[in-house]
Amino acid sequence: MPTSPDALVIVDVQRDFLPGGALAVPRGNEVVPVLNRYLAYAAEHGWPVFATRDWHPPDHCSFESQGGPWPVHCVADTEGARFAEGLDLPSETMVISKGTDPNREAYSGFERTELEERLKELGVRRLWVGGLATDYCVRQTVLDGLRRGFDVRLLTDAIRAVNVHPEDGDRAIDEMIAGGARPATLEDLP
């Protein structure tokens, strides 16, 4: 694959995180048409596309049944773990599975995955990150990307928050920006 300074990173846009799913993010479905516009742009400009996904074993430590905070969600190879219907991921999308170890939570797409290595192989320096959820996996993926030296653009029109506490999403956005992420929307594409 040719190198590219930019990559689109789509975080956890999986059925269990959409309304009606096992761990629904309110209005999570609204990111899909917006992300499709970013995907069209990425295709037009030769940007590589990465899609992270929760890919848990049935006894994952984050599940309430195991003493964790969340209902069972995104169990590997189940319907709920599939990417959202209507999300136009190209066939060459690089899928990054995380949270595969039963004993470890992994909100970040960088956590014990090959994401960083793959990005570096492709010469990527700038990440355009959107998806679900703002206050968990988007937040952690963005902060980890910044820590690893990537220039990170947070796609504020293509994220939604869980908001266990009503301000969680807004706080997470503030934290990502304070950490060096720059907010961006479709209009800011180069």
Question: Residue 99 class from Cβ within 10 Å (0-12 exposed, 13-18 middle, 19+ buried)?
Answer: buried
Of the pair 3, 65, the CB lying nearest Zn ion is at: 65
Minimum distance between the CB of residue 115 and Zn ion, rounded to whole angstroms?
16
* Per rule CB under 5 A, count of chain residues that contact Zn ion: 1
Task: Give the footprint of Zn ion on residues 90-119 (CB under 5 A).
Answer: none
Minimum distance between the CB of residue 59 and Zn ion, rounded to whole angstroms?
13
Minimum distance between the CB of residue 54 and Zn ion, rounded to whole angstroms?
4
Sheet holding 6-11, edge to edge: 94-98, 49-54, 6-11, 126-132, 151-160, 182-184
Of the pair 75, 127, the CB lying nearest Zn ion is at: 75
The answer to whether 130 touches 145, Cβ cutoff 8 Å, is no
Element (H, E) at 155: strand 151-160
Minimum distance between the CB of residue 36 and Zn ion, rounded to whole angstroms?
24
Task: Give the footprint of Zn ion on residues 28-67 (CB under 5 A).
Answer: 54
Of the pair 4, 62, the CB lying nearest Zn ion is at: 62
Does residue 135 belong to the site contacting Zn ion (CB under 5 A)? no
Catalytic (active-site) positions? 12, 98, 137
Residue nearest to Zn ion according to CB distances in the complex:
54
Location of structure tokens 């066939």:
91
The vertex-37 CA angle with 35 and 41, nearest 5°, equals 115
The answer to whether 80 touches 124, Cβ cutoff 8 Å, is no
Of the pair 54, 144, the CB lying nearest Zn ion is at: 54
Name the residues that contact Zn ion, by CB under 5 A: 54
